[in-house]
Amino acid sequence: MIDGSLSGTAGDRLRRIAWRRAVGRDMAGAASLHRATEWYPSEALAAMQWEQISALVGYARTTNEFYRSRLDEVPAGPAVTPDAFRRIPPLRRHDVARCWAGQAARSAGAGGVVQRRSGGSSGEAVRIPLDRATYSWYVGGTWRGLGWWGADITRRGAVLLGSGGAGLRRLAVRAKDWAMDWLRITVEDGFEEAVPAALARLAAFRPVFLYGYPSAVHRLARAVYGRRLAWTGRLRVIALTGEPVYAFQRRAIEETFACPVAEEYGNGEMGSMAFECPEGTLHATVENVFLEVEPPATNGSGGPILATQLHNRLLPLIRYETGDWGTVGASGCACGRALPAVRVAGRTQERLVAGSGSVLARPRLEELFSALPDDLRGAVQIVHRPGGPTICRVEHTQDRPSPDLRHVALLAREILETDGSVDAVAVSRFRRLPSGKLPYFVTLRSDDDGALHHE
């Protein structure tokens, strides 16, 4: 039962009413369809997506001035072919405002409009309007993915994410959390000082699942692993979202909390785009988005990942640049699901510049972080200026011995193989982004040195 955690007391009956108000028929219907379509054969999934793409393109052509010019090379008609679809120029972040200008007047009377905001970790943050029915599809993949691990989005859960906004929006998020029986622990600048209190609240709440930023959950694990704090909770799964999941984070979290880790791939603009199954495959949420890969500019595996939101009519997002580099292909997963397999190799703009050219930073960061001593994993941030110096910022706290900065610098120089010098400096703590995210790789422009001065 989707609301089986709600018992019969007066307080629980009130929560059930609020829960149904928060979830509604749209979300329950989307969840039901996700549970059915996950077992469709690949041919049926593809046919379903292209039918939705054709409807979306037709709608954008007739209602949005911005898209009319972008769709000149796509023949009008009831069906859009893959070849014609790929002729549509990719949608970039700076295009979103122009797209919304062509749609805002038509959407002014729409009811239940909410705003989704990108985290801003890869550049300028954008706001995406969507109605309540569309939001159901945004979270449908999360609901289904948790179910693969024996959890349920409607059961008691804990959330380690950003604040959810300010003012009335923040109050609305808190009301939804109460209705869903979720404990939200806000991740913001200074979260590290609140780790003991966060662990105590989690242990007392006893959630079935934990859903949050990898950097925040790893900070909890590091506190327990270092035997500063105890953990007695029993989780079925920890779902990590919103940031890259590094191997050292996954290992530490699984060992500390004695439960599996599942990765979710998504963003604020699109919602849930893929979820990891127990066999280790990151399966695309084909009911919500269509994912494709642009041919890479240079030889190598993968390319820029583009996403098309299949349901948002308030602001159509067609072939939107996610900012990620990876592959999307046939499943072949032992779980039996034909949902396409997604592999995210890293952020497209996060690159290390060396004499041989530029390479994705993520693979070399994985190697570097794995080579660090246990107590420094999650405590080293790389600040890279293409063609200039690379700085390893090493967090130095009271509960960690003074780091060997020279060893860190030598290790980074050997593994990263960048142009320019490599040095290491000690800092008191890292500063989180306004979204609560904590990047372990920062790229500086030649005229920007602000990231070096964070305390």
Neighbouring C-beta atoms of residue 451, cutoff 10 Å: 17
- Tell whether 4 is covered by a domain: no
Please tell me the predicted confidence (pLDDT) of residue 451.
44
pLDDT < 50 positions in the chain: 1-7, 450-455
Q: How many whole angstroms separate alpha carbon 444 and alpha carbon 432?
A: 16
Q: Which of 347, 363, 393 is the endpoint of a domain?
A: 347
CATH number at residue 52: 3.40.50.12780
Asked if residue 309 and residue 176 are part of one domain, the reply reads yes
The full DSSP string for 71-101 is TTTS--SS---HHHHTTSPPBPHHHHHHHHH
Domain that holds residue 236: 10-347
Asked if residue 302 and residue 266 are part of one domain, the reply reads yes
Q: How many whole angstroms separate alpha carbon 282 and alpha carbon 291?
A: 13
CATH number at residue 417: 3.30.300
* Both tokens assigned to 239: 């779902």
Rounded to two decimals, the pTM is 0.89
Asked if residue 362 and residue 262 are part of one domain, the reply reads no
Chain center to CA of 224: 25
Q: How many whole angstroms separate alpha carbon 438 and alpha carbon 242?
A: 10
CA angle 160-325-314, nearest 5°?
A: 65
- Tell whether 1 is covered by a domain: no
CA angle 343-286-23, nearest 5°?
A: 115
Q: Which of 329, 347, 365 is the endpoint of a domain?
A: 347
Q: Closest by alpha carbon to 199, among 215, 213, 216, 214?
A: 216
Asked if residue 394 and residue 312 are part of one domain, the reply reads no
pLDDT single digits (tens) 101-150: 756 555 555 555 555 655 555 556 677 888 888 989 999 999 999 999 99
Asked if residue 262 and residue 131 are part of one domain, the reply reads yes
Asked if residue 359 and residue 343 are part of one domain, the reply reads no
Asked if residue 388 and residue 310 are part of one domain, the reply reads no
Asked if residue 307 and residue 177 are part of one domain, the reply reads yes
* Both tokens assigned to 209: 């699942």
CB contact at 8 A, 238 and 210: yes
Q: How many whole angstroms separate alpha carbon 220 and alpha carbon 198?
A: 8
Asked if residue 327 and residue 392 are part of one domain, the reply reads no
Q: Which of 331, 347, 363 is the endpoint of a domain?
A: 347
Give how many domains the chain has, as a whole number.
Answer: 2
Asked if residue 253 and residue 169 are part of one domain, the reply reads yes
- Tell whether 187 is covered by a domain: yes
Q: What b/e sequence results for 308-328 when a residue is b if at least 16 CB atoms lie within 10 Å of its CB, and e otherwise?
A: bbbbbbbbbbbbbbbbbbbbb
Asked if residue 442 and residue 339 are part of one domain, the reply reads no
- Tell whether 2 is covered by a domain: no
Asked if residue 166 and residue 91 are part of one domain, the reply reads yes
